[in-house]
Structure 1
Amino acid sequence: MEKTSQNKFSQRHPLIFGFMLIIAAVVIFMMAMAVFNFLFLEDRSRFRTGEKIGVVNISGLITDSREIVDWINELKRNESVKGVVLRINSPGGVVGPSQEVYAAVQDLARTRTVVASMGAMAASGGYYVASPAHQIVANPGTLTASIGVKATLTNMQELMRKIGIQDQAIYSGEFKDAGTVMRPMTDREKEYFQALIDDMHDQFVQDVAQGRNMALEEVIALADGRAMTGRQAYQTGLVDVLGGMNEALELLRELTGIKESAGLLEGPVQKVSLVRRILGEFSLTPDFAGPRWIFTYE
């Protein structure tokens, strides 16, 4: 009997044929997982009609604002979203991205009622992004406040000397080398960095005062870097209500009149590539591309 063209191809190109089978199996598996996720795991409330509550999850160190800001903007464009809860579990973040999230929340609060719900921690940059919300809810034991700016600068001159490494770089100006690990800072460099820190701290204080509608002097008195429990922050006026996520949702419903049957739209949804979903994240490349020092709200 004459062999089919398929058999001929599989015999003539076994590696290619095997690879095609693997790809087909992976595609079928991913489609099955997508269907399973939609039926059993996905929050399908986004497909329902009627009023909805948006939830913005802000977790971990705030180093990149893009996904958070994009999600906030998506909720703003969605007319079915009548109110938004910011669920914050963050120890702080880099100044620039924290300011971008703050601005997005501030803009959202002009057209939607926004309630911030603090989890285990919403300190420094975590508190900063919550401050434009109409109401802030924190657990009594939440760690929050910590209004201040920090820059960590390390002097490794003695270590470099012991292992025979010397800095021979050429710089264009006096302060281009400021903060190097190869030598101690000069007095002028300390003044230079202190001026940067003071200006960022002033921006922090002014934004919190504006977001919370507090007198600038009140915030200045609390902005010495101290962390507070949720209960302490409530007593100083940095927090409005003591409670958890359920209390935040209930408060939002009271402020907006949204029914309990309203669905939740939670995000931002983490975007993971197909290869990373299958194999997981694996990297042998260290990241030394960043600056020697980073200013953070922490």
Structure 2
Amino acid sequence: MTAPLPDLAHDLLAERRRMKRRLSAWRALAVLLALGGLFALGGWRPGTAGLGGHLVRLSVEGVISDDRRLTEAIAAAARDPSVRGMILSIDSPGGTVAGGEGLHAALGRFREAKPLVAVMRGTAASAGYMIAMPAQRVFARESTLTGSIGVILQSFEVSELMRSLGVRADMLTSGILKGEPNFFRPLSPAGREALEGVLRNMHDQFVGLVATGRGMTPEQVAPLADGRIYTGRQALDLKLIDAIGGEPEARAWLAAEHGIAETAPVRDLDPRGTAERVLGISVRALVKSVVSEWLVIDGVRAVWQLPR
């Protein structure tokens, strides 16, 4: 007697179920590996919101320029209910006045919503000092270079070189001050007076930001705002910072004053692309700063420069 044929439909259904179970197991393993990788890299941590939220760390390094993505990221952090506060970590000699002003304003809006503490590292001078002013508490190392409260505009002119080469530049302008400063001729007395007026106005704005941030009057800040730099120890004596310390001291202060545990997780706030993070600076921003902002009137800067 011939044996009955196997029930092919039943076997196919059983095999299909086994394949689905295997696929589900592999998917679960992939998710667990991805979460473990994020945890190991110090990124997102599961259950953060349920454990009381987290801090964000904004590291400002190198030359400060106007950065819309950064100000938008700060605004988003202020709206995020899982963000408890911010540690502003600064290592910058300064940058453009407009860039410092924009970052100062964004940080000021963050402080209105959540705690903000600043930590000055190697250098926090000029615009690098300006952006610390919205912080509720400012820490620096004893050897930190800070201060340099002031603005600078520098240009160069090559009229003597052009004359020696037999080259002359002609320029038509709609007004006598439209072409000041100019590479091709010396600065005129009227041009110098106009530019000095711009610098005085921006300097007064800078002094006002420092006075507001440090709880001082402009008259108290003015003698300190002659462009000189200070060590962290000197800045503490002059009340330009609040305390000597680094991030551990900043976290201890947040714990004592705002109840944010010193063990609370910290995420870095960095809106830059991969190439910018690898290079440490945006090539586009660097070119824009050198060509457009550092050589013409739009490039009045609040930056500390090493003497030559």
TM-score interval, normalised by the smaller of the two chains = 0.7 to 0.9
Aligned to 2:179: 177
Report the structure number with the largest CA radius of gyration: 2
Note if 1:85 corresponds to 2:90.
Answer: no
Which of 205, 228, 246 lines up with 1:244 in the alignment? Answer: 246
- Alpha-carbon shift at residue 44 of structure 1 (Å): 2.3
Q: Secondary structure at the match of 1:53?
A: strand
The answer to whether structure 1 residue 259 and structure 2 residue 264 are counterparts is no
Matched with 2:61 is 59
How do 1:94-113 and structure 2 match up within 5 A?
94-113=96-115
| 1:91–1:273 CA distance, 2 compared to 1 (3 A) | closer
SS in 1 for 2:123: strand
Partner of residue 198 from structure 1, selected from 197, 200, 203 = 200
Distance in 1, matches of 2:283 and 2:129, equals 33
d(CA) in 2 for partners of 1:127 and 1:46?
36
CA positional deviation for 1:62: 0.5
* CA drift at 1:41: 2.6
| Kept in 2: contact 1:52–1:264 (CA 8 A) | yes
Cα distance in structure 2, aligned partners of 1:119 and 1:282: 24
1:74 partner letter: A
CA distance, structure 2, for counterparts of residue 271 and residue 138 of structure 1: 29
One-letter amino acid of the structure 2 residue matched with residue 265 of structure 1: R
Aligned counterparts of 2:272 and 2:292: Cα–Cα separation in 1: 24
CA distance in 2, matches of 1:125, 1:73: 20
Deviation, 1:269, is 3.7
Opposite residue 43 of structure 1, the aligned amino acid is: G
CA shift digits 1:1-50 (9 cap, x unpaired): xxxxxxxxxxxxxxxxxxxxxxxxxxxxxxxxx99963643522487223
* Mapped partners of 1:273, 1:125: distance in 2: 25
Give the residue type in structure 2 aligned to 1:58: V
Q: Hey, what does 1:297 align to over in structure 2?
A: 302
Please give the alpha-carbon distance, in whole angstroms, between the structure 1 residues aligned to 2:253 and 2:94. Answer: 25
Q: Distance in 2 between matches of 1:158 and 1:171?
A: 22
> What is the aligned-residue identity percentage?
33
Partner of 2:218: 216
Structure 1 segments of 4+ aligned residues over 4 angstroms from their partners: 34-37, 286-289
**Do residues 41 (structure 1) and 41 (structure 2) align?**
yes
Show the counterpart of 1:13. Answer: none
- For residue 273 of structure 1, report the CA deviation from its aligned partner: 6.5
User: 1:282 deviation in Å?
Assistant: 9.3
TM superposition shift of 1:260: 2.6
Provide closer, same or farther for how the CA distance between residues 39 and 86 of structure 1 changes in structure 2, counting only shifts above 3 A.
closer
- Cα RMSD for the two superposed structures: 2.5
Gaps of 5+ in 1: 1-33
- The match for 1:29 is none
Structure 1 residues 151 and 47: alpha-carbon distance in aligned structure 2, compared to 1, 3 A threshold: farther
Corresponding residue to 1:166 among 158, 165, 168: 168
Q: Which runs of 5+ in 2 are unaligned?
A: 1-33, 304-308
Do 2:151 and 2:202's aligned partners in 1 also have CA atoms closer than 8 Å? yes
1:256–1:64 Cα change, 3 Å: same
Q: Deviations 1:71-118 (Å, cap 9, x if unpaired)?
A: 211210111222211101110110111111111111111121111000
